[in-house]
Amino acid sequence: METVLQIIVVLVLIIVVILLVFQPRRSEAFALPHNYQELLNDYVLFYSNLKEEEKKSFEGRLEKFLAAVKITGANAEVEDLDRILIGAAAVIPVYFIPDWEYVNLREVLVYPGNFNHDYEQHGNERMVSGMVGTGGMENVMILSKWELRQGFINSNNTHNTAIHEFIHLIDKMDGSLDGVPELLLERKYVTEWKELLEATMHSIRRGESDINPYGATSPVECFAVAAEYFFEKPEAFRAAHPALHSMLQRIFIRK
């Protein structure tokens, strides 16, 4: 009887060891916060305008993004809301593009406020609110927590820093950050798109456009600020910039 008991104990121990060794690694598992739908409805206009089943698909994309990309605070506390807003900014531009993955993004660093071009948070020249890293910071995005939240809280303007940075990532994914998202824009439209960006930059410089003046600095920034406006205020953008609107529709909505 005793030996039977010993055998059972040994067998149980073996099973426990096997379960411990072969259990799926879940240390990095990500779970959406319990109130994620509430946060999305309260802060993300794009999401709250979706139909119920579209919301489900948005949530699936959001969860997949947040499971794949690390979000780290640099002197800033990353709260559930920040994670949800970063995920939303990632999903919004590619919501209509099935199976899109940001293969060029590994980590998002969240700074409390603005920083300079050397990723420093102190000093005089703190003017950058978001950035897609290069060199040693390749595949890293930096966002200011304050600007991240402003982009969603203040739905009365056409700015959204996080969406702006994801547009740069999309632009960059074809190998060149040049204002032309080759992966999403059919080749036959590339010349027209470049001309449209140039024309837009001219009209900004002449003071004849309501597009963020920062867009006049380069085609790269022109594409990013126009896309921010397109996603933040679609109807106003369509009315004020029909040609740009239909081209961005072609790039992001694809119908």
| Interacting residues with Zn ion (CB under 5 A) | 221, 224
Neighbouring C-beta atoms of residue 216, cutoff 10 Å: 18
Neighbouring C-beta atoms of residue 45, cutoff 10 Å: 16
- Are the CB atoms for 71 and 107 separated by under 8 Å? yes
The number of residues making up the chain comes to: 255
The smaller minimum CB distance to Zn ion, of residues 221 and 232, is found at 221
Phi then psi dihedrals of residue 183, to 5 deg: -70, -25
User: Taking the complex as a whole, how short is the minimal distance between the CB of residue 117 and Zn ion, in angstroms?
Assistant: 12
The smaller minimum CB distance to Zn ion, of residues 59 and 221, is found at 221
User: Taking the complex as a whole, how short is the minimal distance between the CB of residue 120 and Zn ion, in angstroms?
Assistant: 18
The smaller minimum CB distance to Zn ion, of residues 76 and 142, is found at 142
Q: What is the CA radius of gyration of the chain?
A: 23
User: Taking the complex as a whole, how short is the minimal distance between the CB of residue 134 and Zn ion, in angstroms?
Assistant: 13
> Distances from the Cα of 53 to the Cαs of 48, 86, 101, in angstroms?
12, 22, 21
The smaller minimum CB distance to Zn ion, of residues 38 and 125, is found at 125
Phi then psi dihedrals of residue 141, to 5 deg: -115, 145
The smaller minimum CB distance to Zn ion, of residues 84 and 167, is found at 167
Q: Which residue is nearest to Zn ion (CB)?
A: 224
User: Taking the complex as a whole, how short is the minimal distance between the CB of residue 115 and Zn ion, in angstroms?
Assistant: 14
User: Taking the complex as a whole, how short is the minimal distance between the CB of residue 43 and Zn ion, in angstroms?
Assistant: 22
Tokens, residue 37:
């739908």
The smaller minimum CB distance to Zn ion, of residues 44 and 142, is found at 142
- Per-residue burial over 98-107, b = 16 or more CB atoms within 10 Å of its CB, e = otherwise: eebebeebee
User: Taking the complex as a whole, how short is the minimal distance between the CB of residue 15 and Zn ion, in angstroms?
Assistant: 56
Tokens, residue 212:
């963020």
